[in-house]
Amino acid sequence: MTIVNFTPFSALLGGVLIGLAAALMWWLLGRVAGVSNILGQAFSSDERELNWRLAFIAGLVLAGLGAKLFVPGAVHFSLPAGYGQLIVAGLLVGFGTQLGGGCTSGHGVCGMSRLSPRSIVATLVFMAAGAFAVLGLRLAGTL
Amino acid sequence: MTRVIASFLAGLLFGAGLIVAQMTNPSKVIGFLDITGNWDPSLAFVMVGAIGVYGLAYWLSRARHARPFLVDGFNLPMRRQIDRPLVVGALIFGAGWGLSGFCPGPALTSAGFGEPRVWVFVVAMLAGMMIYRLRGRTVSTASATTRD
């Protein structure tokens, strides 16, 4: 194992911003800022519940668009996977987060902060599965 | 309307945090998961920052028996049990996360960068979510039929 591309300060700052956003959702709307649940439950929400969900999603997307337009230097983006791999991965991420009841934000940040045993288990499992998937890519020679 | 604006601003801030942290950079995420290869531990610091701030906010609300400012009460997940769907779901999600370097939030924010491959990922992710819901419906219809 070698350690590369280490950027602890920007990672910590980004984490603080994510934590602040999640704190806003909690203190203002009383909601857990779990992206997969906000998105997934938009499929089965009445209008009152749908609006704030779509607004949060719009905020996420517009943050990306705004950064690309106004501060392109701050955007670091490199995507190694091709279309086929991304379609398979997208299906897995969509289905898995709904079955498991959360993702990196809902379980990994919010649930871990609450010391929820379910979230701690989920986070350990999806991190391990992610590491195995990357190991698989490495062994297959596509990394 | 206030709720919608607050939620939008929280989404913007969340997305900004993802960009600063480089959670929206799939190579970076894959580097974090590449523990047996060229490991980049940076994203562990994202967790530290986010949990530090949100944990403080959450436990403060508990200690003060507070109520949220814009609604009547807090909305927390009810489930407590560590069951098979939780573990299998996390396994499936983790596999997709490692294959692509995307989890749901960063995928939505990077969709704003304008790269068509991200849009394809997002559409597939939405399809995966819909398949989960259709499957749930089929199962409940089937069990309803059995009961008859």
Q: List, for residues B20-75, the tens digit of each pLDDT value.
A: 999 999 999 999 999 988 899 999 999 999 999 999 999 999 999 889 999 999 99
Contacts 24+ apart (CB under 8 A), B132-138: B132/A40, B132/A94, B132/A95, B132/A98, B132/A99, B133/A40, B133/A43, B133/A44, B133/A98
pLDDT of A45: 78
Beta bridge partners of B99: none
Minimal Cβ distance to B33: which of A9, A24, A131: A131
Which of the pair, A53 or B135, is modelled with greater confidence?
A: A53
pLDDT of A47: 83
Q: Does A98 touch chain B (CB under 8 A)?
A: yes
CA–CA gap between residue A25 and residue A4 (Å, rounded): 34
CA–CA gap between residue A67 and residue A75 (Å, rounded): 7
pLDDT of B78: 84
Q: What percent of chain B has pLDDT over 90?
A: 83
Q: Do A58 and B11 lie within an 8 Å CB cutoff?
A: yes
- CA A118 from chain center: how many Å? 17
pLDDT along chain A (143 residues), means of 10: 86 98 98 96 86 97 98 96 97 98 97 97 98 95 82
Q: Does B138 touch chain A (CB under 8 A)?
A: no
Q: Which residues of A touch B84 (CB under 8 A)?
A: none
- pTM of the shown model: 0.94
What's the token pair of residue A21?
């956003």
CA–CA gap between residue B88 and residue B76 (Å, rounded): 22
Q: What percent of chain B has pLDDT over 70?
A: 91
Which of the pair, B89 or A45, is modelled with greater confidence?
A: B89
Q: Which residues of A touch B9 (CB under 8 A)?
A: 24, 59
Question: Average pLDDT for residues B91-117, to the nearest whole number?
Answer: 98
Dihedral pair phi/psi, residue B39, rounded to 5°: -80, 135
Q: At what angle do helices B26-33 and B84-100 cross, to 10 degrees?
A: 120
Q: Does A69 touch chain B (CB under 8 A)?
A: no
Distance from CA of A81 to the nearest CA of B (A): 6
Q: Does B140 touch chain A (CB under 8 A)?
A: no
Cβ pair B70, A36 in contact under 8 A: no
- Mutation site, A36, A45, A86, A112, interface B, largest B CB count within 10 A: A86
Distance from CA of B142 to the nearest CA of A (A): 19
- Report ipTM (2 d.p.): 0.96
pLDDT beyond 50 at B1: yes
pLDDT of B145: 40
- Indicate the DSSP class of residue B107: H
Cβ pair B125, A94 in contact under 8 A: yes
CA–CA gap between residue B9 and residue B1 (Å, rounded): 12
Dihedral pair phi/psi, residue A90, rounded to 5°: -60, -45
pLDDT of B100: 98
Distance from CA of A111 to the nearest CA of B (A): 9
